[in-house]
Every structure is written in structure tokens, then in C-alpha cells.
């Protein structure tokens, strides 16, 4: 055993699943557990200690806490030895004696006192007994049902206490989760929960499901644990023998905690090259409201950093996580998260979230605010208990928010000068990157690739922000009068400008960039927006310049008078889409429009005196290069090309497996005038009605409309009830003469989630609702 070391010494400790904690931790006599190795390392007064983990699976029995108090080495590095495959499991392996119960369901006694809500068989997550049954093709929660908690169904449950109800927010602004506490004879449930969303409302009537109900154990892959009797029931998939399978269950929510204080921070800890998995769910702990954003939070995760400086998480994999992966909570400075692959999480991938007590005159909940007479008008934070100058770079983040729907790739709230760079983020339940408030700004978001977002929710964007800061109030008249009389309030919290540049965004169910309530002090430039355009709701001092909005445009909503907003030197491909705009900011000009009609409509609002219309002349749009040609009219209004090949993750191993966004067909493409051209759309193939032959074949009154040539099973077209050979005649209340006109309507309304159609099927007119997500 180690007793003392000189401060200048570099010390190496070794750990192996085949080791023994009674050993000395040498290469030949390694320790057995990571917890013991860390305890020993923390007492070595050395320049640096490296804990090398040999290949294998390490089951962590309790959360490992590395604290600054009594921590002696100048630095600590926990890593896999020479790249060996090391898995850190927050779960437990079970050795069970299975017996057939009935109807293909097996049962086994589990160790006394054990409880879990995630079970893995041969490293595959199984399904906790639920209704409706798990459907991998379903958009929301892998399957929902309006009658999930109907009285007639509840009456069939002998003892539902301990079951869960999961539902979207009534307006699809995230989700809610409830633990069932009981039921009466009439089938009425009692429950607790619903605190996971900072915008209280009813649960969605349609998008809901129940789980952890014994009577719903009826499909292969499902399981249920009788916690009172200690009996596990399992319905194995066809061909799987539970007696020979590897059974692992979740135990811990947090695997490792790095903790210090602002006065005595924990410094220079590195965790690299490890795989983390099997963490328990945390949705019932997601309840702390984060000021007036839509979020509540659980301040935990696989790795929790609090009170740290110069720490680094690199080249790690996080998968099969029930809650958050990495949480940087409260005071943290100059920490780095890089080269990580985070996927299949119950909640968020990476969070930088400060202490709400560091905000002056804080309010909690959308409807609340502090009146001016009681407002602390001192600029900036009250304390420094928040993340600052931290970096999330070169990470691959996808399939996020499997359980919690207010979840994102990178969450920033009550933080300052956070850099989010070269990350690939996709398949998220809500935004890809979210900034929850203006406290305290100075962030840089650059070279990220963010797409396939807002998959299960609504009214959001691939990037989303709020700015319900000290100046903001839910009463618009009061807020207007307040900022007119006291404009100095606007930047009390958002003191430093946040920069969004050189990113590629695509949101098919909202806006590509969505600056929502109150977002202020932003500079947005050199971004490629592939589908949803840019929305600026009320706020101040936003400069939006030199961006490209493919198949979409600029969405200004309910602006303040004298907002100071600027929108110039951008390429838009549709007319502006203003909502309740009386004052058009500081300058809206020098933009390129797709046609003269869109330009003239903008000029009728008093904007765009020096803007022009024309074909931007993209170099290679079919392959994602939207640089403009040397003779493009965009150059005449001052537009400058920016790199098209630097988006997303750059680490070779991650770049090799990272997906790319779908490159859209340009709605201005001259090729769409050829009515024989087919276009892929929402899992189907479309073409324009072309001539008398199509009119006769489909029984049409004229030669206009869009024919559905083919539909993929479980695609959005299929889920909408559309069929091959249907002809779309009207979309969103507008007659659509061809594919181009249908795509134009889709671009305007897809964020709503549903577009009303009138179709002709077998020469009969039908009303149908097109699902767009």
C-alpha cells in the first residue's frame, strides 16, 4: 500500500476486474474496484496520479465522490489502459433461477431489497410493462393511447400503485410524468408528479401512456418487478432463453461526482476513454424550476461536476442512460467536454446550469415577475455560482430525451461564456441546443450540425432560447411601458453578446433558429438553415446577417418598439412571415429575395429599400454546398460565402459514424416545373398532375394537383392515412397546382404538426390531416 510520495512524483495505479482491493495497485497487483483506487489516489500527495483501468465491466455499488476537501494530488486522471475496452456500469448483474410462469412469461426471485426500473438482457434495454405496447415506429413515447388511463382500463389493475403515467404537455411544450399512488373502485387514479415542466398545464389527451403495471405485461420483451414479494416477471422475445442470458439492471443515477466549492474548487481531474451505461431514470427528480424558462431540472447525471476548475471529460461513451449524461452544476470554470459519444439517454446529454440564487431579483414561473419598485437594478449576477468559460466541443450527441421530453443536446442556463463547437446533434425530443435565459450571455455556438430535432414536441427550434430576464413580464403592456421608461433594464442579465455562427441547422417541425420570449443581445451570422428559417420573437439587440434560409424565410414575431434589431445581407427563399409587427427594428435591408413579389411585399412594410430579388445561384445545392457563384446577385448586397464543409464533429472516429441532415429539394428549383419529375416527401414519392392522361386516369376535374406515387410503411404519409394514387388538391386551405406549390405550403405550416388536406381518392373528395411530425 502507498504511504507517501514526493510532490514531484507521477504515480500510476492499476485496477482490474480480476484484481483485489487488498493489493498495492501496481500493474502486477491491481486493485479490483474504481472506488478504492480513487480513495487511495486522493490521499497521494503527488504532482499527478493516473488510475489505469484494465479491460472489463466495473459495476459501481455506490456513487463515487471525488471531493476537494482532503484531496492531495495536484491532478488525477482516470482512464482506460492503452485504449482497452472499459465499461463503467451503474447497474448490477443478476444471476437468477428462472421458471416458466404462464403464457410464455417467466419468473424469478431477486435479491432482497433490490429495486430497479431499467433491465438489460444481453446488453439490450427491455420494456417495462406498458400500455400501449412499445412501437418503435411511433413518433411520441414509442406509442401512446388516449385511453391509457381510462376508468374501464384502470378497473382491470389490481394494484397500480407504483405505476407511471407519461404524457406530453397539452401544448406539446415538453412533457409530464406522474407516479400512481392508488385507484378507487370507479377507476379514478390518484397520483403525484407533473412538476417536470415549468409551464403547468394539463397532460395531453392523446399523447400519453402508462407503464410499470403488472396487468399490462403482455408482449415479448416486457418485464415487471413485484417489489413487495421480490419476484421478477419477464416475457422474453422469441428465441431468447432467459436462463442463459446476461441480466443487468440499473441501480445508480449518478456514477461519479466531482465536487468542490468556489473557495476550494476541485481542480485538474480528467476522465477519458471510458464507457458509461446502465444509469437509473431520474424523471421524478426533475423538479427544480429554472427561473422563468419552460424547464425544471434534476441536478445530477452520470457525471456531476460542481465546484470544479480545469476538469476534462474526453473520448468517453455514454449510452443506455436513464437521465442526464453530464451535468455541470453551479460553480464550474474552464471545464472541457470533448470527443464524447452520447446517445440513448432518458434526458439531456450535456448541461451547464448555474444556481438560481446567483440571479438578482429572480422570478420562477412564466406568469410571475418582480415589479420595478422592488427590482434589484444592479447589473450582472449576485454571486459567481454558475458555469463560466467551459467548452463542449467535438461531441456526437443523438437519440436524446427518450423519457423526458424537455431534453436537449446541450443545455445552457444561468451561465456565461460557454463555447459549443463542432458538435453533431440529432434525433432529439426537443431542441438540439437550448439557452434558457439571458443570464449571463457571452456564449459562442459555432460549427455545429443540428438536425432532426423537435421530434416529439412542438413550437420550438433546432436552436431555442428564452430571455425572460429582469426586464421581461408576461403583461405585454406593462413590459412595453417598463422598457420604454427604463431601457437600461434590458441588458442587466444578458450583459454579454451571444454569438451563433457557422452552424448548419435543420428543423422539420419548427424553426431552425428560434429566439423566443425576451431573447436579447445576439449576433447570428454565417448560418445555413436548411428548412425552418429564423424566428425572432420579442427581444432586443439581435443582429442577424449573412445567413442562408433554404426554402424558408425570416419570422419576426410581436417585436418591441425600438428593439434595435438588424436583419441584413441574408438570403431568403420565401417572403417574410411577420406576426403582429408594427415596428421593424433598427435596419431590415440589403437582403436577397426569391422574387419581386416577395421583395415588394417587404417594401410595403417600409423595409428592404436596398434589397434585391433573384436566383442566388448556389454552387452545388444537391450536395449541400450553398456557396454562391461569382456572378450571384447575393454578392451585390454584401453577402459573403462561408465554409460549407466544417459543420459538426471532426474527431475521425465520430465523424465516420455521424449522420448528416437530409439535403432538401429547392422549392425554387427550375426542375420542379417539369411535371414528370418525382420528389421524395415525408416517406413517399410525389409528382405533379401532368396533362390529360393523368386527369383521366385519376378522375380529376382538371389538370392540377399532386399525385402520391408511392408510400413507405409507417412513414408520415402512411400514418396520416394517405394512400398510393391519392391526389392532393388543397393543402392548408390553398389550392395546390403542382409539387412546388405543395412544398411551399408545407414550408409555411409544417411547424404546426398538422396540415389539413383535400384529396381525391377513387374519384371521391376526402378531407384528411397530414401529419408533419
pLDDT of 670 strictly over 90: no
Angle made by CA atoms 657, 658, 660, in degrees to the nearest 5: 130
269: DSSP letter: E
List C-alpha distances in Å: 704 to 366, 421, 602, 687: 47, 47, 30, 11
CB atoms closer than 10 angstroms to residue 243: 11
Lowest-confidence segment of 19-33, 185-199, 337-351, 671-685 by average pLDDT: 671-685
CB atoms closer than 10 angstroms to residue 377: 12
Nearest to 626 by CA among 530, 552, 703: 530
What percent of the chain has a predicted confidence (pLDDT) above 70?
Answer: 99
Q: What is the mean pLDDT of residues 566-578?
A: 97
Predicted pLDDT at 3:
41
pLDDT of 297 strictly over 90: yes
List C-alpha distances in Å: 458 to 7, 135, 210, 369, 510: 56, 21, 22, 26, 7
Beta bridge partners of 352: 328, 412
Q: How far apart are CA 301 and CA 257, in angstroms?
A: 9
Q: What is the pLDDT of residues 503-545, one digit of tens each?
A: 999 999 899 999 999 999 999 999 999 999 999 999 999 999 9
3-class SS letters over 399-435 = EECCCCCCCCCEEEECCECCEEECCEEEEECCCCEEE
**pLDDT confidence band for 667 (50 / 70 / 90):** confident
CB atoms closer than 10 angstroms to residue 635: 16
342 Cβ contact list (under 8 Å, min separation 6): 317, 318, 319, 321, 325, 326, 349, 350, 395, 396, 397, 398, 400
HSE-CB for 120 with a 13 A CA cutoff:
21
User: Which pTM was predicted?
Assistant: 0.95
Q: What is the pLDDT of residues 80-127, one digit of tens each?
A: 999 999 999 999 999 999 999 999 999 999 999 999 999 999 999 999
Contact 38, 255 (CB under 8 A): no
Predicted pLDDT at 598:
96
Predicted pLDDT at 8:
52
pLDDT of 546 strictly over 80: yes
Predicted pLDDT at 714:
86
pLDDT of 5 strictly over 50: no
Phi and psi (nearest 5°) for 215?
A: -65, -15
Q: What is the pLDDT of residues 20-64, one digit of tens each?
A: 999 999 999 999 999 999 999 999 999 999 999 999 999 999 999
Nearest to 63 by CA among 270, 267, 266, 279: 279
If 0-12 CB within 10 Å is exposed, 13-18 middle and 19+ buried, where does residue 103 land?
exposed
Return the CA Rg of the chain: 28
Predicted pLDDT at 674:
84
3-class SS letters over 549-579 = ECCCCEEEECCCCCCCCEEECCEECCCCCCE
**pLDDT confidence band for 2 (50 / 70 / 90):** very low
Domain ranges in the chain?
A: 92-250, 281-619, 670-771
Reduced to 3 states (helix: H, G, I; strand: E, B; else coil), residue 744 is: helix
C-alpha cell at 496: 454579454
The phi-psi region of residue 194 (left if phi > 0; otherwise alpha if psi is between -120 and 50; otherwise beta) is left
Q: What is the mean pLDDT of residues 297-318?
A: 98
* Mean predicted lDDT score pLDDT of the chain: 96
Question: If one looks up domain 670-771 in CATH, what number appears?
Answer: 2.30.42.10
Q: What is the pLDDT of residues 159-186, one digit of tens each?
A: 999 999 999 999 999 999 999 999 999 9
Nearest to 463 by CA among 428, 438, 415: 428
Predicted pLDDT at 171:
95
Reduced to 3 states (helix: H, G, I; strand: E, B; else coil), residue 664 is: coil
pLDDT of 383 strictly over 50: yes
If 0-12 CB within 10 Å is exposed, 13-18 middle and 19+ buried, where does residue 221 land?
middle
Predicted pLDDT at 676:
86
Q: What is the pLDDT of residues 101-110, one digit of tens each?
A: 999 999 999 9
What percent of the chain has a predicted confidence (pLDDT) above 90?
Answer: 93
Helix, strand, coil fractions of the chain, as percent rounded to 5 = 10, 35, 55
C-alpha cell at 213: 403495471
Distance spanning both ends of the chain, measured CA to CA: 60
Amino acid at each position: 500500500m502507498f504511504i507517501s510520495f514526493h510532490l514531484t512524483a507521477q504515480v500510476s495505479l492499476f485496477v482490474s476486474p480480476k484484481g483485489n482491493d487488498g493489493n498495492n495497485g501496481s500493474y502486477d497487483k491491481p486493485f479490483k474496484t474504481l472506488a478504492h483506487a480513487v480513495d487511495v489516489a486522493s490521499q497521494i500527495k503527488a504532482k499527478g496520479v493516473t488510475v489505469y483501468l484494465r479491460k472489463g465491466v466495473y459495476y459501481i455499488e455506490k456513487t463515487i465522490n471525488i471531493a476537494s476537501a482532503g484531496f492531495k494530488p495536484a491532478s488525477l486522471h482516470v482512464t482506460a489502459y492503452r485504449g482497452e475496452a472499459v465499461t463503467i456500469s451503474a447497474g448490477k448483474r443478476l444471476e437468477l433461477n428462472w421458471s416458466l410462469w404462464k403464457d410464455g412469461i417467466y419468473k424469478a426471485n431477486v435479491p432482497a431489497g433490490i429495486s430497479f426500473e431499467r433491465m438489460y438482457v444481453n446488453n439490450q434495454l427491455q420494456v417495462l410493462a406498458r400500455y400501449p405496447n412499445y412501437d418503435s415506429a411511433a413518433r411520441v413515447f414509442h406509442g401512446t393511447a388516449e385511453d391509457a388511463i381510462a376508468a374501464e382500463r384502470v378497473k382491470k389493475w389490481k394494484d397500480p400503485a407504483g405505476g407511471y403515467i407519461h404524457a406530453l404537455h397539452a401544448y406539446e411544450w415538453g412533457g409530464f410524468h406522474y407516479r400512481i399512488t392508488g385507484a378507487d373502485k370507479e377507476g379514478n387514479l390518484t397520483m403525484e408528479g407533473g412538476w417536470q415542466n415549468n409551464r403547468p398545464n394539463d397532460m395531453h389527451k392523446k399523447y400519453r401512456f402508462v407503464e410499470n403495471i403488472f396487468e399490462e405485461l403482455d408482449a415479448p420483451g416486457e418485464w415487471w418487478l413485484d417489489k413487495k414479494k421480490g419476484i421478477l416477471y419477464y416475457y422474453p422475445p422469441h428465441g431468447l432463453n432467459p436462463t442463459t442470458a446476461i441480466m443487468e439492471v440499473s441501480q445508480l443515477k449518478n456514477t461519479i461526482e466531482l465536487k468542490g466549492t468556489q473557495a476550494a474548487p476541485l481542480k485538474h481531474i480528467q476522465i477519458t476513454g471510458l464507457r458509461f451505461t446502465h444509469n437509473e431514470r431520474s424523471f421524478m427528480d426533475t423538479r427544480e424550476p429554472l427561473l422563468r424558462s419552460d424547464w425544471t431540472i434534476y441536478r445530477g447525471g452520470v457525471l456531476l461536476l460542481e465546484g470544479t476548475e480545469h476538469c476534462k471529460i474526453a473520448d468517453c461513451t455514454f449510452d443506455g442512460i436513464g437521465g442526464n449524461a453530464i451535468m455541470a452544476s453551479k460553480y464550474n470554470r474552464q471545464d472541457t467536454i470533448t470527443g464524447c459519444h452520447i446517445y440513448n439517454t432518458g434526458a439531456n446529454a450535456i448541461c451547464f446550469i448555474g444556481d438560481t440564487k446567483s440571479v438578482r431579483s429572480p422570478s420562477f414561473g412564466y406568469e410571475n415577475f418582480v415589479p420595478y419598485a422592488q427590482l434589484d437594478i444592479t447589473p450582472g449576477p449576485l454571486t459567481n455560482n454558475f458555469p463560466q468559460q467551459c467548452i463542449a466541443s467535438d461531441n456526437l450527441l443523438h437519440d436524446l430525451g427518450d423519457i423526458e421530453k424537455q431534453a436537449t443536446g446541450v443545455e445552457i442556463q444561468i451561465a456565461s461564456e460557454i463555447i459549443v463547437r463542432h458538435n453533431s446533434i440529432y434525433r432529439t425530443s426537443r431542441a438540439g441546443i437550448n439557452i434558457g435565459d439571458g443570464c449571463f450571455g457571452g456564449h459562442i455556438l459555432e460549427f455545429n450540425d443540428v438536425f432532426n430535432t423537435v421530434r416529439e414536441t412542438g413550437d420550438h427550434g433546432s436552436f431555442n432560447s428564452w430571455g425572460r430576464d429582469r426586464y421581461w413580464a408576461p403583461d405585454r403592456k406593462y413590459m412595453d411601458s417598463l422598457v420604454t421608461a427604463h431601457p437600461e433594464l434590458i441588458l442587466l442579465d444578458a450583459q454579454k453578446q451571444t454569438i451563433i455562427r457557422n452552424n448548419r441547422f435543420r428543423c422539420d417541425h419548427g424553426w431552425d433558429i428560434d429566439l423566443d420570449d425576451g431573447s436579447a443581445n445576439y449576433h447570428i451570422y454565417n448560418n445555413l438553415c436548411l428548412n425552418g428559417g429564423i424566428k425572432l420573437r420579442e427581444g432586443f439587440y439581435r443582429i442577424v446577417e449573412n445567413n442562408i434560409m433554404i426554402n424558408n424565410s425570416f419570422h419576426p414575431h410581436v417585436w418591441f418598439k425600438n428593439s434595435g434589431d438588424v436583419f441584413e445581407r441574408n438570403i431568403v427563399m420565401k417572403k417574410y412571415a411577420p406576426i403582429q409587427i408594427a415596428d421593424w427594428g433598427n435596419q431590415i435591408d440589403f437582403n436577397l429575395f426569391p422574387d419581386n413579389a416577395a421583395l415588394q411585399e417587404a417594401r410595403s412594410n417600409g423595409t428592404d429599400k436596398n434589397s434585391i430579388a433573384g436566383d442566388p445561384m448556389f454552387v452545388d445545392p444537391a450536395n449541400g454546398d450553398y456557396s454562391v457563384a461569382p456572378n450571384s446577385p447575393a454578392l451585390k448586397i454584401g453577402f459573403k460565402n462561408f465554409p460549407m464543409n466544417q459543420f459538426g464533429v471532426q474527431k475521425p472516429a465520430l465523424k465516420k459514424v455521424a449522420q448528416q441532415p437530409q439535403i432538401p429539394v429547392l422549392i425554387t428549383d427550375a426542375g420542379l416545373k417539369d411535371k414528370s419529375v418525382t420528389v421524395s416527401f415525408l416517406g413517399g414519392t410525389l409528382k405533379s398532375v401532368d396533362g390529360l392522361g393523368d386527369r383521366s386516369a385519376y378522375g380529376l376535374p382538371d389538370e392540377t394537383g399532386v399525385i402520391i406515387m408511392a408510400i413507405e410503411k409507417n412513414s408520415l404519409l402512411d400514418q396520416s392515412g394517405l394512400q398510393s394514387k391519392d391526389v392532393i388538391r388543397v393543402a392548408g386551405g390553398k389550392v395546390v397546382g403542382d409539387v412546388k406549390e405543395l412544398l411551399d405550403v408545407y414550408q409555411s405550416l409544417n411547424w404546426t404538426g398538422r396540415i389539413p388536406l383535400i384529396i381525391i381518392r377513387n374519384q371521391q373528395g376526402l378531407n384528411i390531416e397530414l401529419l408533419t411530425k
